[in-house]
Amino acid sequence: MTREARQPAFSDYLFWDADKNTINFDKNKAYVVERVLSHGLLSDWYVLKDLYGKETIREVVLQVRHLDKYALHFCAAYFNEPLERFRCYNYAQSIPVHWDY
């Protein structure tokens, strides 16, 4: 059975804005990885690792443009990468924000 033919067992709510049956999990790796890391459960993380493997997830996460700070720090620790290697970290640093008083 090919990767497109099987449906990964992600949580039902995870892809609320798309039909889970029509997602091409090979072409949309960044979308799937970002969604699982930002909104998924631990069980979704295990499904993601089974689907793509650790190295592919690492490559995608280093290039993804947005991750929340918890997912970013989890990935930095899990993949043993400094924060500066992550595109989302550098992108967030380049956007000026208002000061909180």
Q: Is the pTM of this model over 0.85?
A: no
- Structural domain range at position 82: 24-91
Q: What share of the chain in percent tops pLDDT 70?
A: 85
Higher pLDDT among residues 90 and 65, named by residue: 65
What HEC string does 17-45 produce?
A: CCCHHHCCCCCCHHHHHHHHHHHCCHHHH
Asked whether residue 71 is domain-assigned, the answer is: yes
How many domains are contained in the chain?
A: 1
pLDDT digits (tens, 9 = 90+) for 23-58: 889 999 999 999 999 999 999 999 999 999 999 999
Asked whether residue 16 is domain-assigned, the answer is: no
